Amino acid sequence: MGLHGGQFTTMRIPVETFHLDNGLFVTLSEDHTAPIVAVNLWYHVGSANEKAGRTGFAHLFEHMLFQGSAHVGSNEHFELIQRAGGTLNGSTWLERTNYFETVPSNELALALWLEADRMGELLPAMTQEKLDTQRDVVKNERRWSVDNQPYGTMLEKMQELVFPPSHPFQHSLIGSMEDLSAASLDDIAQFFATYYTPDNAVLSIAGDFDSIEARRLATEYFGPIPRGKEAPSLPSMNLPPVFGNRLREVVPDNVSLPRLFMAFRSPVFGSEKYYAASVASAVLGMRKGSRLHRTLVRERQIAADAGAFTFDLAKGTDLLVVDVTARPETSVTRLEDEVEREIDLIYREGVAEPEVKRAIALIETDLVASLQSAGERADRLSMFATYFKRPELINEQADRYRSVTTESVNDLISERFGEDNRASLLYVPREGVESESILAAAVGAD
Amino acid sequence: MVTSLRPKPGPPRSYHFPDFNDQILPSGIRLVTAPVVKLPVVTVLVIVDAGSTNDPAGKEGVAALTAGTLLEGSQRFDGAELAEKFEQLGTSVESGADWDSAFIKITVLSDQLEEATKLLGEAISSPVFPEREVERAKAERLAEILQLETEPRGLADEKFSEFLYTQESRYSKPDEGSTESVSALSRKDVEEFYRSRYRSGSTTVIMTGDVSTDEARRLVTRAFEQWALGSAPNRPLTAAPRTTRKSIHIVDKPEASQSELRAGHVGLPRKHPDFFPTLVMNAVLGGLFGSRINLNLREAHGYTYGASSFYDWRRGPGPFVVSTAVQSEVTAPALREILLEIDRIRAERISDEELSLARDYLDGVFPIRYETTAAIASALATLVIYDLPADYYESYRKNIRGVSADAVLKAARSHLHPDELQTIVVGDARVIRDSVSDLGVGDLHVHSS
């Protein structure tokens, strides 16, 4: 059985939803093409929910969720799923944490039971020793992906630059070594009780299953887990649509080539204007035909690479980021000037119809291609359910992108691409910093 | 509370790798099609026997440069126009070369397939390799090489190959070429490489997804009308080790917070009779999250975020390598644990538990690997490139299930060579030098980076 009725315009992913009495929101999407099924859980908690002095905790906690629960031994979750022929992982982001497995369809019950056991009864399995080991693992993850990796500090430096102090998105996701050292078993217990509750989670199942059986299993395993005490709400995330002035930080780092990340505050994920921003980002930096690639990489040859992306934040404000790496012979000043010039040009003159069409066409193909995977379908259902309580939005994405017009992209650009809404994070090779007047310029920029 | 009763699996539903059709077109081009109708999307993957092992000596990188600039200008359109035309159709062309093959790939919505295939065939049948674009691609490759200097993971991989194979081996040099070899390449080299190797007898077109075999045949026949006939023999490949004496190389990175560690030796060619036992053996050793090396280094000791081992399967014997990044201070103890695990799997039979974990995983995960048209196309490319039997995927799971603990032990003893182990550490020599030299891992060489 296929998922489409012959042409793209009629493509619909089937979506069923229901709630358990304890508040767990369940979404189901059947597809019997292959005997595999994806189970996906989103907990509406991320680094934004961490308290002061505990940066990195949400992510450390994610690691602890693989360390066993009442009826599952340490690392047994991994073993049981792999033994069943499944794949699995988890990830932590600013505003959510997800856990997912794709298994042969006759192992659906196992995947659901494992997720329920750790949602219901994690704490009996927690020990100081496990916490200490995972703390070391996470510190090594930090060394590997942040400290010992060129441009690896981008995410945390960017958060620090563009969000005001005390804003929930301002602090590091992976956390500081100091805060990771300070995390205790008490923190684990408290975080678990507060956020890992059925009413703060979405369960999605996509692929080859029987709807009645899946409902029965979800109810049997997750039903007995008590509702939480309602997670404390985040402080106000709202921010003005623009920074209000130029922001700029220079990071001398162990890198070979200068690289500029320029961020703009942009409309939150899922909002009407978000789609225009997403298209604007694709016009600027998606693939070789994009504006920045064509001008900076191909024509002027000052950049080795150029791209753009959005963070897809659903609260407060999103960020649209332009990312350009210099060629070795390009000076830091020139890199910055040329990118600035391109943004100025777009801000002044807008973008043209064919550029918008190109961007939308690419986005549509990616959208359809990604929905081939059961894991992707389940993850997107969870995302739309978590942020908007509307998993069926998965079927509206293509239409929402198609209804973006050149005019709406240009409106977005005039609203958000002005000089008062640009934050530059500029990586420069540590050696040779003195010979550039770049640091002095940084001081003068504010 | 949640029931303590672990669920038992239900009856498994059968799965078959997608049916595919394999034919030779009158032009000599091989066409492999797998019609899979799930979503309105098609992947077109063209593979040409023009991978990096066919680089002439001194011209390392020409295969990659050729594939990389194939779409940078045709008789009718320049590079920018081509990019624009494909992207207006909602697709973009990925092209490149790995050791064994050049590839050109698009994934496109089915209603754009006809036009996209036509454009693709035309573009890659009449590339003009403009001087300016070739020079730009070279400069971009040189920038990438420069980036490696500060990128410990990539640097460790590259140094490992360099110290593993004899200098005469193509495998000892980066697949996309070095600063020296790339700088010396010219537009003429690229054109010559294209003309000699991009020929019908060396070309396979794979189409997977929402397209019938008849339609694919019609589209490919027309799109590749101008494709050159004939074929080109492959260059002979040397893959001898640089030395069979154990040795350790430290590439010094003062102040590095972690050591990137690679330890291994020359492995096996892809088409080897021990492929399946070796695959299962490696899964137990370091191929899975629950493998010995990862559980030891990560979960028991907290030395690392992850540690793994793998055989890099190529036409010739690619490397066997254990790969991890550990906190600088524990480099020596981590390396010691790796050596112990290699010895242990050669010393005694793995447990039934370990055998079943590896077999059940490889067997069970099989259908999950082929969810997308791109993944199916890539699996079919593997058949073609390594000349595997047509029933390879149909018999894969049976072959995995047939591997015994004895076969694993035999594979470990035959295909792991601790006495020839080459170890590369990219890290802070000051911190690690003394401790690693006590491990008995052979002569120590320290290189400044």
The model's pLDDT over A77-109, given as tens digits with 9 standing for 90+, comes to 999 999 999 999 999 999 999 999 999 999 999
User: What distance in Å separates the CA atoms of residue A124 and residue B251, rounded to the nearest whole number?
Assistant: 45
Q: Please tell me the CATH superfamily of domain A13-222, with its number.
A: Metalloenzyme, LuxS/M16 peptidase-like (3.30.830.10)
Residue with tokens 């081992």: B309
Checking if the pLDDT of A5 tops 50, the result is no
Contacts of B37 in chain A (CB under 8 A): 2
Please answer whether residues A293 and B72 qualify as being in contact, where contact means their C-beta atoms are separated by less than 8 angstroms: no
Check residue A432 and give its pLDDT. 61
| 3-class secondary-structure state, position A433 | coil
What six digits make up the tokens of A92? 């932590």
How many angstroms separate the CA of residue B119 from the nearest CA in chain A?
Answer: 16
Angle value at C-alpha B215, between B213 and B216, nearest 5 degrees = 65
Domain covering B247-448 in this structure, CATH number: 3.30.830.10
Phi/psi at B108 (nearest 5 deg)? -145, 150
CA B313 → CA A20, A356, B270, B272, B343, distances in Å?
A: 48, 42, 5, 10, 22
Residues of chain B with CATH 3.30.830.10: 21-223, 247-448
Which residues lie below 8 Å from residue B254, measured CB to CB, with a gap of 6+?
B428, B429, B430
In this prediction, residue A437 has a pLDDT band, given cuts at 50, 70 and 90, of low
Q: What is the pLDDT of residues A161-205, one digit of tens each?
A: 999 998 999 999 999 999 999 999 999 999 999 999 999 999 999
Highest CATH level, class, for B21-223: alpha beta
Check residue A75 and give its pLDDT. 87
The architecture of the domain spanning A247-445 is 2-Layer Sandwich (3.30)
Calculate what percentage of chain A has a pLDDT beyond 70: 94
CB contact B299 to A (< 8 Å): yes
Task: Out of A137, A139, A220, name the one closest to residue B298 (CB).
Answer: A137
User: What distance in Å separates the CA atoms of residue B376 and residue B315, rounded to the nearest whole number?
Assistant: 20
pTM, two decimals, is 0.95
Check residue B4 and give its pLDDT. 78
Residues of chain A with CATH 3.30.830.10: 13-222, 247-445
Check residue A3 and give its pLDDT. 45
Below-70 pLDDT ranges, chain B: none
Please answer whether residues A418 and A264 qualify as being in contact, where contact means their C-beta atoms are separated by less than 8 angstroms: no
Q: What is the pLDDT of residues A329-384, one digit of tens each?
A: 999 999 999 999 999 999 999 999 999 999 999 999 999 999 999 999 999 999 99
Q: Which of A415, A253, A441 is nearest to A320 (CA)?
A: A415
User: What distance in Å separates the CA atoms of residue B148 and residue B161, rounded to the nearest whole number?
Assistant: 14
Task: Out of B110, B305, B370, name the one closest to residue A144 (CB).
Answer: B305
How many angstroms separate the CA of residue B365 from the nearest CA in chain A?
Answer: 4
Q: Which of A41, A17, A39, A13 is nearest to A27 (CA)?
A: A17
Please answer whether residues A401 and A279 qualify as being in contact, where contact means their C-beta atoms are separated by less than 8 angstroms: yes
Angle value at C-alpha A264, between A300 and A367, nearest 5 degrees = 80
In this prediction, residue A6 has a pLDDT band, given cuts at 50, 70 and 90, of very low
What's the mean pLDDT when you consider all of chain A? 94
DSSP B190: H
Please answer whether residues A327 and A316 qualify as being in contact, where contact means their C-beta atoms are separated by less than 8 angstroms: no
Contact B2 A132 (CB under 8 A): no
In this prediction, residue A443 has a pLDDT band, given cuts at 50, 70 and 90, of very low
Average pLDDT over residues A402-410: 98
Element containing residue A359 per DSSP (H, E): helix A353-370
Q: What is the pLDDT of residues A248-274, one digit of tens each?
A: 999 999 999 999 999 999 999 999 999
Task: Out of A8, A85, A112, name the one closest to residue B365 (CB).
Answer: A85
Check residue A433 and give its pLDDT. 55
CB contact B179 to A (< 8 Å): no
Question: Considering only alpha carbons, which residue of chain A is nearest residue B289?
Answer: A78
CB contact A397 to B (< 8 Å): no
Check residue A10 and give its pLDDT. 53
- What amino acid is encoded at B5 in this protein? L
In this prediction, residue A289 has a pLDDT band, given cuts at 50, 70 and 90, of very high
